[in-house]
């Protein structure tokens, strides 16, 4: 095991009814003004907004509303939120939504207290914020695991970049699987696949020797696969929804990453595809993963073979590479089985998308078992068509 320092400061309230039971008391710790942040309206339709607003009112809070945070949140939206937070001296940001709302608020929290532009500060000067408006998250759609880390993925439309930005980590997060019951089923599956992708991108990082993180990771991957299958038969089954909710946090709360350099090459490609097309994150990953892994499995044959055996239950074949490839094909078959897109066309990517520009602007990751070139990423994108 490599050396590591581990801390996760987010206090998690998991399960049914948590908001009603604990939010009021939690709010007493913070000042009078709360920014209530949400997306495009789902929380107003499903009753979550009214429930949270009732608790805020009962606590006598002044509420500043920041709504309309879009999927794949933009940097312009971050700046709008930061202005609002600054003008109103917000004491707490309460992000009610999915990864997009949570991510946007993480950066709003930092930008509101900064005199300089956070994008330039992080990307050019490589310095990072240290002061934040406190943040709490109420998750309404699961998959990203954004609620338990400080990373945010923000689309800078002018620069055509969708990159990771470092911001606030939430003090607390409510994960109530019931809140996700109104999520359209394709998004439920997209989110669950995102979780599987996070686990894979960590598992295929370095080192690829045996370690506890990878053993736990295999259990998370098997659990996600099993529970997606349960939901395919019974869309609203609470047990499966709740297992996937916790798996989503587990895949991105740092536990699986302990002692590892993660891969995340697939995410980097998908994020840039998103920057050019605004595609759905989990569905984009589904298209890219098998194609990318067909390029990589020989370089990481031992690890891909272990994935085949321990995650997909495949018996070893004559040679390691054949077992490794069978694991990749099992993943591809699973993606088809659960109805995710398998090509850029199925994903709805316009034919005239500049795939060369997508490839050329993609970050190359250090954790990938073979460092790719931009040319090879372009080939991968062509094969995804």
Residues touching ligand NZQ, count (CB under 6 A): 34
| DSSP three-state, residue 380 | helix
Phi and psi, residue 163, nearest 5°: -125, 160
Residue 27-56 contact track with ligand NZQ, rule CB under 6 A, x = bound:
------------xxxxx--x----------
Residue 182-211 contact track with ligand NZQ, rule CB under 6 A, x = bound:
xx---x---x--x-----------------
Minimal CA–CA distance to 134: which of 156, 119, 112, 154? 112
CB of 101: closest distance to ligand NZQ in angstroms?
6
Comparing CB distances to ligand NZQ, the nearer of 105 and 308 is 105
Contact 267, 285 (CB under 8 A): yes
Q: Which residue is nearest to Zn ion (CB)?
A: 194
CB of 339: closest distance to ligand NZQ in angstroms?
17
Q: Does 71 bind ligand NZQ (CB under 6 A)?
A: yes
Q: Does 252 bind Zn ion (CB under 5 A)?
A: no
> Which DSSP letter does residue 93 get?
E
Phi and psi, residue 78, nearest 5°: -60, -45
Residue 249-288 contact track with ligand NZQ, rule CB under 6 A, x = bound:
---x--------------x-------------x-------
CB of 51: closest distance to ligand NZQ in angstroms?
12
Residue 204-243 contact track with ligand NZQ, rule CB under 6 A, x = bound:
----------------------------------------
Residue 23 CA, chain-centre distance (Å), reads 24
Near ligand NZQ by CB under 6 A, which window of 52-60, 127-135, 139-147, 288-296? Answer: 139-147
CA separation, residue 218 to residues 176, 227, 294 (Å): 25, 14, 20
Angstrom distance (rounded) from CA 49 to CA 43: 5
The alpha carbons of the chain give a radius of gyration, in whole angstroms, of 20
Phi and psi, residue 64, nearest 5°: -110, 120
Give which of ligand NZQ, Zn ion, none residue 180 binds (C-beta under 5 to 8 Å, depending on kind). Answer: ligand NZQ
Q: How many other CB atoms are found less than 10 A from the CB of residue 45?
A: 9
Angstrom distance (rounded) from CA 382 to CA 385: 5
Comparing CB distances to ligand NZQ, the nearer of 141 and 311 is 141
Comparing CB distances to ligand NZQ, the nearer of 149 and 202 is 149
Comparing CB distances to ligand NZQ, the nearer of 140 and 361 is 140
Sites for Zn ion among residues 175-194 (CB under 5 A): 194
Comparing CB distances to Zn ion, the nearer of 18 and 39 is 39
CB of 112: closest distance to ligand NZQ in angstroms?
19
CB of 275: closest distance to ligand NZQ in angstroms?
10
Beta strand 151-156 with 161-166 is antiparallel
CB of 87: closest distance to ligand NZQ in angstroms?
24
Q: Of 19, 118, 121, 153, which lies in the binding site for ligand NZQ, with binding defined by CB under 6 A? A: 153
CB of 281: closest distance to Zn ion in angstroms?
6
Minimal CA–CA distance to 347: which of 357, 356, 359, 335? 335
Relative orientation angle of helices 265-277 and 281-296, to the nearest 10 degrees: 140
CA separation, residue 165 to residues 34, 50, 51, 123, 347 (Å): 23, 31, 31, 8, 26
CB of 256: closest distance to Zn ion in angstroms?
13
Residues touching Zn ion, count (CB under 5 A): 1
Angstrom distance (rounded) from CA 58 to CA 56: 5
Instruction: Report the half-sphere exposure of 139 (CA within 13 A, side-chain side).
Output: 32
Angstrom distance (rounded) from CA 132 to CA 114: 9
Binding site for ligand NZQ (CB under 6 A): 39-43, 46, 71-72, 97-101, 103, 140-141, 143-146, 149, 151-153, 179-180, 182-183, 187, 191, 194, 252, 267, 281
Binding site for Zn ion (CB under 5 A): 194
């Amino acid at each position: 095991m490599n050396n590591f320092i581990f801390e996760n400061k987010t206090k998690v309230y998991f399960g049914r009814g948590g908001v009603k039971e604990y939010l009021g008391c939690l709010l007493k710790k913070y000042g009078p003004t709360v920014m209530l942040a949400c997306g495009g309206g789902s929380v107003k339709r499903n009753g979550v907004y009214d429930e949270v607003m009732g608790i805020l009112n009962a606590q006598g809070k002044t509420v500043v509303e920041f709504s309309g945070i879009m999927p794949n949140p933009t940097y312009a939206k971050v700046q709008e939120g930061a202005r609002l937070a600054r003008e109103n001296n917000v004491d707490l940001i309460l992000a009610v939504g999915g990864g997009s709302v949570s991510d946007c608020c993480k950066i709003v929290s930092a930008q509101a207290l900064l005199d300089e532009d956070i994008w330039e500060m992080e990307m050019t000067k490589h310095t990072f914020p240290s002061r934040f408006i406190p943040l709490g998250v109420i998750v309404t759609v699961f998959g990203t695991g954004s609620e338990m880390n400080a990373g945010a993925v923000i689309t800078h439309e002018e620069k055509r970049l969708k990159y990771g930005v470092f911001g606030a980590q939430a003090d607390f997060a409510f994960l109530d699987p019931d809140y996700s019951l109104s999520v359209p089923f394709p998004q439920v599956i997209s989110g669950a696949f995102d979780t599987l992708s996070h686990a894979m991108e960590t598992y295929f990082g370095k080192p690829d020797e045996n370690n506890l993180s990878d053993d736990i990771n295999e259990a998370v991957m098997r659990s996600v696969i099993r529970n997606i299958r349960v939901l395919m038969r019974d869309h609203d089954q609470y047990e499966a929804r709740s297992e996937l909710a916790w798996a989503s946090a587990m895949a991105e709360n740092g536990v699986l990453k302990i002692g590892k350099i993660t891969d995340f090459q697939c995410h980097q490609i998908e994020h840039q595809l998103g920057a050019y097309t605004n595609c759905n994150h989990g569905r984009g990953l589904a298209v890219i993963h098998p194609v990318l892994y067909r390029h990589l499995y020989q370089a990481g044959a031992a690890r891909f073979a272990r994935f085949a055996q321990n995650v997909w239950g495949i018996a070893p074949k004559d040679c390691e590479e054949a077992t490794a490839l069978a694991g990749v094909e099992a993943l591809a078959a699973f993606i088809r089985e659960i109805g995710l897109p398998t090509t850029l066309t199925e994903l709805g990517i316009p034919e005239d998308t500049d795939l060369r520009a997508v490839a050329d602007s993609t970050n190359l990751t250090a954790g990938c078992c073979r460092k790719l070139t931009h040319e090879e990423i372009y080939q991968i994108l062509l094969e995804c068509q």
